[in-house]
Structure 1
Amino acid sequence: MIIGILLTLTACGSVEQAPITSETQGIWNHFFVYPMSWLIIYVAEVFNGSYGLAIVLVTIAVRLALLPLVLKQQKSTRALQTLRPEMEKLQQKYKEATKKDPKKQQEMQKELFALYQQHGVNPMAGCLPLFVQLPVMMAFYFAIMRTEQIAFHNFLWFDLGNPDPLYLLPLVAGATTFLQVKMTSSQLNGQMKMMMYMMPIMIIIAGISLPSALSLYWVVGNLFMITQTYFTVTRFEQQEAQVSKV
């Protein structure tokens, strides 16, 4: 979700940048963006110059490569959710005391860490995979934006270098973004649930004005995430619900 927000904000505020090449200087450009651009070009050449198909295939490949990290993050999230009732009891226990006595805050933190250790839960385990995923997805995003060859090719009914004239891709990107976040809404708090409605709108607005290549990337990425979420989150929650009924 955070990746989606950052990519959308970047898209809305992006400025024209020089095409990425092997001669482009800078650590970010040379070691992150350019390898992604090279991969897109290579796959496109393998498939007779189809840059649209290359974006689809590379998007799926990148998502598959990041899948182990995503699964680890989801496992950590589920573990924290299991402990949530005990964590809330602990917070309620010290609710009034921590306001008057800072030492009580330290005692609460010690008990909280002891609870984590007792159940073998690392609260930071869910964040670390995200910091690995974020630069990869951002590099892929900028590679699409700055690979000059993409802008001169068509795919299906649209020109990859220009906005979709039918606005179909931005609408599909917005709809799939909504569905993706909706499927994980049980893991979000009240404030984050607001993004379930804001993100699709932001995606649609960005997609209307940006090259279709980016909308294609969002649609493929969203469809992959929807499928992944169904098998790793939704089905797991359904199984838990059935067990709880029994």
Structure 2
Amino acid sequence: MSHPNSTPTLTLNDGYQMPQLGFGTFELSDEAVVPAVLKALEVGYRHIDTAKAYHNEAGVGRAVRESGLPREEIFVTTKLWNTDHERAGEALEESLERLGLDYVDLYLIHWPKLGLDKRVEAWAAMEQARAKGLIRSIGLSNFTPQFLSEILKNGSVVPAANQVEYHPTFQQRETVAANAAAGVVTQAWSPLGQAKHLDNAVLGRIARETGRTVAQVVLRWHLQQGRVAIPKTATPARIAENFAVTDFSLTPEQMAAIDALHSGNRLGPDPDLVQSF
């Protein structure tokens, strides 16, 4: 059963398909996440992103079950937290228990913390869990090119994805290039820049030209550049608005104008500087 407005998918390096538009659940409580995910699935999202650190895996799993959709139609991502690098196998099983699922589609190391040996140990445990069928795809989050190269050198499975902060005023082009060179899909968290771009004059002009909202323009920019975008909102109208981005295109000139907005405006922690939370 495909939704009439279903988003395009990207084929990962392990052969699995990932919907290019995901629904983020950061800062949504276990209770609040249930109606939000149900609404997202109702409007057509088939990719839900959570993490142990969000403290809402149980709610996400409940919404997946209550949606009535077949499990195989929903791409579920969760993440290994910083304090669990030495017990990645157990942490995954605890996440699966909270989610109430037999497997997750994607499991990410949330941050490159705690030293190379522990990252490599975590990656090896994730490779083993993947071989057992507890995870379909394994990947990284917030890994700069230096950290990515460590995993490529020391692991036997190439990461399927790397989820990083990416929005019009913070474009990690070196990281995207390193991901692409290794065959790793780039996922954008805070793809809308935490709503800080919604009054940008350039984006406002393009929104008027296309008859769309600024948020829709930015999400379309991500999709056309081959990234996975994971917007987050609990507002039902915005959940639907953010999903309605597959029936228009931006021109090369409009794409270039958004590309030119990069200003190094990082909103989240710098993985190279912040080594503990």
| TM-score between the two structures when normalised by the length of structure 1 | 0.22
Q: Flag the structure with more relative contact order, 1 or 2, with Cα contacts below 8 A and sequence separation at least 6.
A: 1
Higher helix share: 1
Larger Rg: 1
